[in-house]
Amino acid sequence: MFQKVKCINYFCIYAYNTANTVDIPARLNMLRKKFPDGKYWNREKASINNPDGYTDNPCKSKHTDKRDNYFDGSCQCHGFAMKLGYDLFGIHVGY
């Protein structure tokens, strides 16, 4: 059984209701601190992939480039969503 955990505007998160359900609101707050508003999920050109990092500067292209971070084989918005899902639920989320 899924239950609604948290809604922000029209985006709602649902979690499987088990005895081991994680504290979703607490993890969302942790992710807000880990990835602050106004920052960019990318890296400096010379650095290696760091899915836990961010920078102050946006990528120069809407297409994949050398500054993109990667997670679970994906980059840009999809990679970031996969990273958030993993950090939130502790498992690799499907797509």
Tell me the pairing of strands 2-8 and 11-16: antiparallel
Find residue 7's DSSP bridge partners. Answer: 12
State which residues form the domain around 46: 23-89
**For residue 16, is it within any domain?**
no
Q: Which residues contact 4 (CB under 8 A, 6 or more apart)?
A: 12, 13, 14
The tens digit of pLDDT for each residue in 19-68 reads 456 788 899 999 999 999 999 999 887 678 999 999 998 877 776 777 78
**For residue 70, is it within any domain?**
yes
Residues 45 and 30: their CA atoms lie apart, in Å, by 27
Residue 25, amino acid: P
**For residue 28, is it within any domain?**
yes
**For residue 3, is it within any domain?**
no
Between 9 and 65, residue with greater pLDDT? 65
**For residue 94, is it within any domain?**
no
**For residue 14, is it within any domain?**
no
**For residue 48, is it within any domain?**
yes
pLDDT of the residue at 20: 58
The tally of domains found in the chain comes to 1
**For residue 15, is it within any domain?**
no
